[in-house]
Chain A
């Protein structure tokens, strides 16, 4: 029992490490889309405080996964392109962080960076640069995600009535 618990914890730990390599912005988008896809329709359908007709609830519920799929597809595609572009610029040495330049001069690195490279200061510059680049990509990614909401909402407002029409036999649309 104890061993299986440790194995489970280790599997969770491995999944966490794998997931965390995606970066904060992508993780936020996955969690948001997952909640919208799986949780929101259930809450709409089974909200005890709502006295709507079943058809109305179904329509509103169908909107959530449709919007979630369109949103996450647009976000993965556009963030992928953006991050690839930023990585290319960084590889050419065109993105330099003041924090990294200062650390190169002083030889002083944040503790978490030193821990990540197990005390090997020759690798610390690259690690610090990578961490800074990830944070930079997350913040730019947030701006792009915000900008994408206008076309995403426009597309989902066009697509979801068609999907809902296919899935819901409407007897209450007057």
Chain B
């Protein structure tokens, strides 16, 4: 075990990373946001793979459902990084810190400031963006994609497979398909 750890703890890259995390609160918060986004990207990739191999989803629907998984993963990642990085910026941090903790006493103010930046960046990117903004935007976005790429010649020749995978179909899709497509947004 030590043989695996020592090359990391002695490496120049990791020690430079340590220096920046210790000295720069914004960088520390941004790193945690990136780590959180990496987890999401991995989870979306797993969903893409499992969707493509899931025989419970009809074969003609599979590529679209999987493509939406992948596209949503990319959109979520970009949105989370943008919001997380903006919140982690020193300007925003200083304003919020002064507004909330101006008169408060801390045992270790440096550690508290670092954690505050991290927690706010995570709430902004992982809760507000990922759980509220992206799901709300995903549905009209899917409808726009449907209109642009699959309904060029009017509603009479619209793509039936897509209609079953967006929220514009007259009849609700069955539960299995809905659960799989719902993963796209959550």
Residues of A within 8 A of B (CB): 6, 9-10, 12-13, 16-17, 19-20, 24-25, 27-28, 31-32, 34-36, 39-40, 43-44, 47, 49-53, 55-56, 59-60, 63-64, 85, 89, 94-99, 110-113, 115-116, 128, 131-132, 135-136, 138-139, 142, 145-146, 149-150, 153, 170, 172-174
Q: Which chain A positions have C-beta within 8 A of B22?
A: 110, 112-113, 128, 131-132, 135
Q: Which chain B positions have C-beta within 8 A of A53?
A: 172
Query: Which among A25, A39, A153 is the interface contact of B47 at CB below 8 angstroms?
Result: A153
Q: Known contacts A31-B119, A95-B9, A142-B38; is A17 also within 8 Å of B172 by CB?
A: no
Supplied contacts A9-B100, A132-B18, 13 more A-B pairs, CB within 8 Å: A10-B103, A16-B101, A16-B116, A24-B28, A43-B131, A47-B139, A99-B18, A112-B110, A135-B18, A145-B39, A146-B39, A153-B46, A173-B175
- Does B155 lie at the interface of the complex (its beta carbon under 8 Å from any beta carbon of A)? no
9 pairs, A vs B, C-beta closer than 8 Å? A9-B103, A13-B112, A20-B115, A31-B126, A36-B186, A49-B136, A98-B11, A132-B9, A149-B46
How many pairs of residues, A versus B, come closer than 8 Å at their CB atoms?
Answer: 195
Query: Which among A9, A19, A43, A116 is the interface contact of B102 at CB below 8 angstroms?
Result: A9
The answer to whether B186 touches A60, judged by C-beta atoms less than 8 angstroms apart, is: yes
Q: Known contacts A17-B108, A99-B19, A115-B110; is A59 also within 8 Å of B32 by CB?
A: no
Q: Which chain B positions have C-beta within 8 A of A9?
A: 100-104
Q: Which chain A positions have C-beta within 8 A of B103?
A: 6, 9-10
The answer to whether B32 touches A56, judged by C-beta atoms less than 8 angstroms apart, is: no
Residues of B within 8 A of A (CB): 1-2, 5-6, 8-12, 14-15, 17-19, 21-23, 28, 31-32, 35-36, 38-39, 42-43, 46-47, 50, 100-112, 114-116, 118-119, 122-123, 126-127, 130-132, 135-136, 139-140, 167-168, 172-175, 178-179, 182, 186
Q: Which chain A positions have C-beta within 8 A of B126?
A: 28, 31-32, 35
Most-contacted residue by chain B among A40, A170, A173 (CB, 10 A): A40
Q: Which residue of B lies closest to A52 (CB)?
A: B172
Complex: A128 Cα to B22 Cα, angstroms: 9
Complex: A110 Cα to B13 Cα, angstroms: 18
Q: Which residue of A lies closest to B9 (CB)?
A: A97
The answer to whether B18 touches A97, judged by C-beta atoms less than 8 angstroms apart, is: yes
